[in-house]
Structure 1
Amino acid sequence: MPENDWTSLMNTELKDFQKIYDQIAEFFVNYSFQLVGALIILLIGLFIAGRVGRTVQALCERNRIDVTLSRFLGNVAKIAVIMVVAIICLGKIGISIGPFLAAVGAISLGAGLAVQGLLSNYSAGLNIVITRPFIVGDTITVQGVTGVVDEIRLAYTFLEDEDGVRILIPNRHIIGEIIHNSHATRLADTLVGVAYDSDIAKAIAVVRKVLKEIPDVDEATAQVGLDTFADSSINLSVRFWIPTRQFHAVRFKVNQKILDALRAAGIVIAFPQREVRLLNDTIA
């Protein structure tokens, strides 16, 4: 490239850079105080929003409102304050929020069509927070899954089982389904087969005594009774409630105690038997 053309190109680029620099400098000169003011307002607003959110949550908890609803109301209050502060900051630097709100509305419409599943999760989560079919600490069974409610969010609900496994369920799969809520406990239903010649009243008394001696079992709500007449045994039904987080451990313990107590009382635990009779002792 000739030297004159190169020099001309460099001058043109320098002029363009100078124009951009002058525009940036002019913007900061004209709006420097507004920018500083907007930044200060934003920082103060974020601080106030955090305090307002925590205050609303603490106020709800003091009035014994459910912890999930308290957190939700606290977050709503915080977001509302942040939105007000953002509008004030935009106006401070001379940005009209009218076109911005219109653009947000158009984007929201398109995003809503694209993420219908996510929005349905949030809608279902809001329904759970308002109607409260269950709260944190309850034991629920839904969609064939059982666990203790560990956390409720607007999009998902987290359950935790006895093994410490966290189960994530999208909220849209909870609302509209049949939910079994047994609060902090879970029902154990056991069959005990005893021989037909056993003293059934004595067997029931032995089982009740075992349930009474185990602290984790509420013996007052336990049920023990004759369930079925099976082929080789009389089946006693034993129904009792166990804390969900110790369900299997306590159930195994109860079963072992019942077996030991029945054997100690001389009550026979039945097992399948078949009686074979020969009608003709000669072979033709």
Structure 2
Amino acid sequence: MEQELQNLQKFYDIIIEFFVNYSFQIIGAIIVFIIGWFLANKIASAVDALCKRNELDVTLTKFIVNTVKFGLIIGVTIIAVGKLGITLTPFIAGIGAASLGAGLALQGTLSNYGAGLSIIIGRPFIVGNTISVEGVSGVVEEIRLAYTILSTEDGEIITIPNKHIIGEVLVNSFENRVVETVFGIDYHSDPKLAIDVISNVLKEFDEISQEPKAQMGIKEFADFSINIEVRYWAPTKLFFETQYKVNMAIYDAFKQNNINIPFPTYNLIKKD
């Protein structure tokens, strides 16, 4: 019991000696860190306001603000640690060696970050655009350093690693997607009338983009029908809904104007 009390007394003396010798350094380091953290937030807010005032892209603004804030906090941390009398040179060298090993082990992850940085700086697309890449398409909801998040009309969330975007064929149709539909009419119907009917139907839908304008015309003369192709731009979030409504409206308009939609017929010869 006496030995344990002596050990506790030694431990207590060491703690008291430590705080007596380093109390001012610790307090100074804490004050420097708090002031530095406060200034980093203030400067980051000022940079954010400056970027918004110059109408920079949201993703680019976030990247600049986070970079500035992170850099300032790192600098403040180095100064605060220096106040404690700790030499950072061996520590930085160790971080460098560890970073090299981590970089070799995480090549795939780092390539995503590099690709994300390229997207943020190059801006081939921004939040709100509709992109198609690697066989998937959707509206860009968020661009992060490692991956890009898309959403679809069905409410699905698609996460694409950025390394699969950079270097690939990328289609950016901004906030809309093109709808391509073919309507067949029989050879007794007037294709000019059919095109006028389709054009009038499309004008009834406010969600269909008027710029660029819808395109329509005779695509081909098939065996049983004159095929009229229609191309128009619809909001990505309402792509299929708009297409289905337009198809039904055109079908009803064809019936009202006596425009027939044919179907294949075959003459069957009965053999005795």
TM above 0.5, yes or no, is yes
Give the counterpart letter for 1:170 in structure 2: P
Looking at structure 2, the residues matched to 14 and 104 of structure 1 have their Cα atoms a distance apart, in angstroms, of 41
Give the counterpart letter for 1:202 in structure 2: L
Q: Deviations over 1:96-118 (max 9, x none)?
A: 11111111111111111121111
Looking at structure 2, the residues matched to 183 and 227 of structure 1 have their Cα atoms a distance apart, in angstroms, of 27
Q: How far 1:14 moved relative to its partner?
A: 4.6
State whether structure 2 residue 203 is matched by structure 1 residue 212: yes
**Higher mean C-alpha deviation, range 226-235 or range 83-92:** 226-235
CA contact under 8 A between 1:208 and 1:219: conserved in structure 2?
no
**Higher mean C-alpha deviation, range 49-58 or range 74-83:** 49-58
Looking at structure 2, the residues matched to 191 and 154 of structure 1 have their Cα atoms a distance apart, in angstroms, of 41
Tell me what 1:254 maps to: 246
Tell me what 1:4 maps to: none
State whether structure 2 residue 61 is matched by structure 1 residue 70: yes
Q: 1:27 aligns with which of 18, 21, 27?
A: 18
Give the counterpart letter for 2:235 in structure 1: P
Looking at structure 1, the residues matched to 6 and 188 of structure 2 have their Cα atoms a distance apart, in angstroms, of 110
Q: How far 1:16 moved relative to its partner?
A: 4.3
Looking at structure 1, the residues matched to 100 and 9 of structure 2 have their Cα atoms a distance apart, in angstroms, of 42
Q: Deviations over 1:91-147 (max 9, x none)?
A: 111111111111111111111112111111110000000110100000000111110
Q: 2:193 aligns with which of 202, 217, 240?
A: 202
TM-score (norm 1): 0.91
Looking at structure 1, the residues matched to 163 and 99 of structure 2 have their Cα atoms a distance apart, in angstroms, of 20
Give the counterpart letter for 1:212 in structure 2: K
CA contact under 8 A between 1:138 and 1:148: conserved in structure 2?
yes
Q: Deviations over 1:58-92 (max 9, x none)?
A: 21121121111111000010011101100110111
Looking at structure 2, the residues matched to 31 and 158 of structure 1 have their Cα atoms a distance apart, in angstroms, of 49
Looking at structure 1, the residues matched to 95 and 102 of structure 2 have their Cα atoms a distance apart, in angstroms, of 10
Q: How far 1:164 moved relative to its partner?
A: 1.8
Task: Output aligned runs, 1:58-137, within 5 Å.
Answer: 58-137=49-128
State whether structure 2 residue 30 is matched by structure 1 residue 42: no
TM-score (norm 2): 0.95
Q: How far 1:231 moved relative to its partner?
A: 2.2
Could you say if the C-alpha distance between residues 82 and 19 of structure 1 is closer, same or farther in structure 2, counting changes exceeding 3 Å? same
Supply the RMSD in Å over aligned alpha carbons.
Answer: 1.5
Task: Output aligned runs, 1:142-153, within 5 Å.
Answer: 142-153=133-144
- Structure 1: unaligned runs, 5 residues or longer: 1-6
Q: How many residues of Structure 1 are paired with residues of Structure 2 in the alignment?
A: 271
Give the counterpart letter for 1:243 in structure 2: P
Could you say if the C-alpha distance between residues 248 and 122 of structure 1 is closer, same or farther in structure 2, counting changes exceeding 3 Å? same
State whether structure 2 residue 219 is matched by structure 1 residue 227: yes
Tell me what 1:52 maps to: 43
Looking at structure 1, the residues matched to 252 and 42 of structure 2 have their Cα atoms a distance apart, in angstroms, of 60
Tell me the SS of whatever aligns to 1:168: strand
CA contact under 8 A between 1:211 and 1:219: conserved in structure 2?
no
Looking at structure 2, the residues matched to 160 and 41 of structure 1 have their Cα atoms a distance apart, in angstroms, of 44
Looking at structure 2, the residues matched to 166 and 58 of structure 1 have their Cα atoms a distance apart, in angstroms, of 30
Name which one, 1 or 2, has greater alpha-carbon Rg.
1
Tell me the SS of whatever aligns to 1:140: strand
Amino-acid identity (%): 52
CA contact under 8 A between 1:206 and 1:262: conserved in structure 2?
yes
Looking at structure 2, the residues matched to 194 and 180 of structure 1 have their Cα atoms a distance apart, in angstroms, of 33
Give the counterpart letter for 1:162 in structure 2: E
- Structure 2: unaligned runs, 5 residues or longer: none
**Higher mean C-alpha deviation, range 143-152 or range 61-70:** 61-70
Looking at structure 2, the residues matched to 37 and 219 of structure 1 have their Cα atoms a distance apart, in angstroms, of 65
